[in-house]
Chain A
Amino acid sequence: MPTNPSRLAYFPGCAMKDQARPDELGTLQALALLGYEVEEIPRWNCCGTVYSLAQDDLMRHVGPVRNLVRVQGMGEKRVLTLCAMCYGTLTRSARFVQEPERLERINAFMDTEDDFRGGIEVVHLLTLLRDEVGYEKLASQVKRSLNGLKVATYYGCVLLRPREFAVDDPERPEVMERVVEAMGGTPTVFPERMECCGAYLTVGRSDVVADRAGRILRSARGNGADLVVTTCPLCQFNLDERRPAGAPSLPVLYLGQILAWAMGVDEPAVAALVSKEPATGSPVSTGV
């Protein structure tokens, strides 16, 4: 059965249905304008959030694999996530069960599901834009330019580490910068762009997250950024909501929101930032 290349199975993850719902709405509108028929996978469950490093605790892989079984049930070969954590967990579990003995045990345990046969590719918004849409086509589809808006591209850690699961060169990534350029923005590369935001310490040790968020935001501002962009709802939450007193007040947005605005969708948070005139001359730091 040939699959329709524009049909795209979609795994939202919990954050996109909870505090990051506006990010999801905008991103899905943008994907529709890019020609994708996005279809949420039926009855999905939490990706597992933190990938289990225990080699003998197969139970921790049941959650992510069950989601892949649902993608398989849709007759699809790839599944999109908009979240770095979901991407990491699903990708790594898919690889983990490539070993037949593990797969056999997990399939035997999940006796109410179809057996997982493997061969499902997990794609992230960034890899989709790079590998399927392509920067040039993206640039040609953009309806509104960011007019040189200085966008600090924040990767965080999960998209780039560990190395064998990185969406790009883990030392010198460029995918997010290229996407920003395709939308007419000026990517601001800053030293803390690959630092961890503190991730799930936000639950029990928000002080650690606040400290990290402050450092990341100061670095972005110090390098002249107008805003910070993430491709992970947790990074976005941590940088924005755990921002310590006195830290730069620059906005933290999800990449899909900017993409949506560039594609012509109403996104007031982005519209407020973009200047009416194209940027001229050399960028000037606005300071902290």
Chain B
Amino acid sequence: MNEITVFIMGKGYRVPAGLTIMKAMEYAGYLLNRGCGCRGGYCGACATVYRLPGDYKLYADLACQTPVQDGMYIAQLPFTPAERPAYALENLTPDGKTLLALFPELARCVACNTCTKACPQKLEVMDAVQSSLRGDIRQVAEFTFDCVSCGLCTMRCPAEISHHHVWQLARRLNGAYLTPRAEHVKTRVEEIAAGKFKGELDKLVTMTKDELVAAYKARQIEA
């Protein structure tokens, strides 16, 4: 077996090459109760920093998505404490003043771009901060659509911005105030409430298995 050496929390382990950081930690004997969630790169729970031999950079990534490399120094950051003020969405206006009032530290951004370099989702994090400062809520929402709230940018930010909470608010404002209403959904919900599909549903739940299979085979399929 092709083995490499990684250092987890400062201690060296021999692990098979090709594992993710998360798998390598478990191979080394760690039981992951925190800092581990979906294992698919979606939940953002497994924020991890690492260094490589001979390289000055501190890298940041998700443990479940990143293969180990020989000589890697690894530390997990299971949680990033970040201030999130309480707010009621219905009392807010979708503009920059709202973001700055709730997250005044946004104005401390010096455009160092450290957040962008830390993002495992390869988002343009600094540009989202800058769009927040100029009140472009929609742009913030679009820049951060794929944010998994792992907190790595927040951990690295010299201005101590709580990025993921700002992004969540911006997306909520965008959804509540700036995105056109989905009128067809409203219409359909009203149709359902008025019982438009009740007859068909009742018929389905009372069918025998054979009737159900026959109906399934005879169903209309879009070309």
How long is the Cα–Cα vector from A17 to B111 in the complex, in angstroms? 18
B160 within 8 A of A: no
B117 at interface, CB cutoff 8 A = yes
Alpha-carbon distance between A62 and B114 when the two chains are bound, in angstroms: 12
Contacts A14-B134, A17-B135, A59-B158: A43 and B110 contacting too (C-beta < 8 A)? no
Verify if A118 is at the interface (C-beta below 8 Å from B).
no
Decide: B124 and A59 in contact? CB cutoff 8 A.
Answer: no
The interface residues of chain A lying within 8 Å CB-to-CB of B116 are: 112
The complex places the Cα of A209 from the Cα of B95 at a distance, in Å, of 23
Complex formed: what's the CA distance from A63 to B110 in Å?
A: 6
Q: Which of A14, A18, A48, A112 contacts B110 (CB 8 A)?
A: A48
Q: A17-B134, A17-B135, A18-B96 are known contacts. Are A46 and B111 too (CB-CB below 8 A)?
A: yes
Q: In the complex, are the beta carbons of A43 and B135 less than 8 A apart? A: no
Chain A interface residue count, CB cutoff 8 Å, equals 16
In this assembly, does A242 line the interface, its C-beta being within 8 Å of a C-beta of chain B? no
Q: Any chain A CB within 8 A of the CB of B109?
A: yes
- Which of B110, B126, B130 has its CB near the most chain A CB atoms (within 10 A)? B110
* Distance A79 CA – B171 CA, assembled complex (angstroms): 33
Asked whether A112 lies within 8 Å of B130 as measured between CB atoms, the reply is no
- Residue A77, interface by CB 8 Å: no
**CB-CB < 8 A to B133: which residues of A?**
14, 46
Complex Cα spacing A59 to B159, Å: 11
The count of chain B contact residues (Cβ–Cβ below 8 Å) is: 18
CB-CB under 8 A from A48, the residues of chain B are 110-111
Asked, given contacts A62-B110, A66-B111, whether A45 binds B126 with beta carbons under 8 Å apart, the answer is yes
Partner of B130, one of A46, A60, A109: A46
Contact between B96 and A60 (Cβ–Cβ < 8 Å)? no
Q: What's the minimum C-beta distance from A29 to chain B, rounded to whole angstroms?
A: 20
Asked if A110 is at the interface (CB within 8 A of a chain B CB), the reply is yes
Chain B min CB distance to A67 (Å) = 8
Scan residues 15-34 of chain A and give those whose CB is less than 8 A from a CB of chain B: 17-18
Cβ A43 vs Cβ B134 within 8 A: no
What residues of B have a CB within 8 angstroms of the CB of A110 in the complex? 113
Residue of A nearest to B111 (CB): A63
Chain A 98-116 near chain B by CB (<8 Å), digits 1 or 0: 0000000000011010000
Q: Nearest-CB distance from A39 to chain B (Å)?
A: 18
Closest to A18 in B: B135
* Nearest A-chain residue to B104, judged by Cβ: A203
Chain B minimum-CB-distance residue to A59 = B110
A18 to B126, CA, bound (A): 18
User: What's the nearest-Cβ distance from chain A to residue B95, in Å?
Assistant: 8
B112 touches A62 (CB 8 A): yes
In the bound complex, do residue B109 and residue A46 qualify as a contact, i.e. CB atoms below 8 Å apart? yes
> How far does the alpha carbon of A60 sit from the alpha carbon of B108 in the complex, in Å?
10
In the complex, chain B residues whose CB is within 8 Å of the CB of A17: 134-136
A18–B95 Cα distance when bound, in Å, is: 9
Instruction: State in angstroms the CA–CA spacing of A62 and B111 once bound together.
Output: 7
Closest residue of A by beta carbon distance from B130: A45
CA gap between A112 and B111 in the complex, in Å: 12
Residues of A within 8 A of B96 (CB): 14, 18
> Which A residues lie within 8 Å of B130 (CB)?
14, 44-46
With contacts A14-B134, A17-B135, A17-B136 taken as known, whether A43 is within 8 angstroms of B111 at the C-beta atoms is no
- Which chain A residue shows the least CB distance to B117? A112
> Which of A18, A60, A62, A66 makes the CB contact (< 8 A) with B134?
A18
The 5 closest A-B pairs by CB, nearest first: A63-B111, A14-B134, A45-B111, A17-B134, A18-B135
Chain B interface residues (CB < 8 Å from chain A) = 95-96, 109-113, 116-117, 124, 126-127, 130, 133-136, 158
20 additional A-B pairs beyond A14-B130, A63-B112, beta carbons within 8 Å, are: A14-B96, A14-B134, A17-B134, A18-B134, A43-B124, A43-B127, A45-B109, A45-B111, A45-B127, A46-B109, A46-B111, A46-B133, A48-B110, A48-B111, A59-B112, A62-B110, A62-B112, A63-B110, A66-B111, A112-B117
Q: What are 15 A-B interface contacts by the 8 Å CB criterion?
A: A14-B133, A18-B95, A43-B124, A46-B109, A59-B110, A59-B112, A60-B110, A62-B111, A62-B112, A63-B111, A66-B111, A109-B112, A110-B113, A112-B113, A112-B117
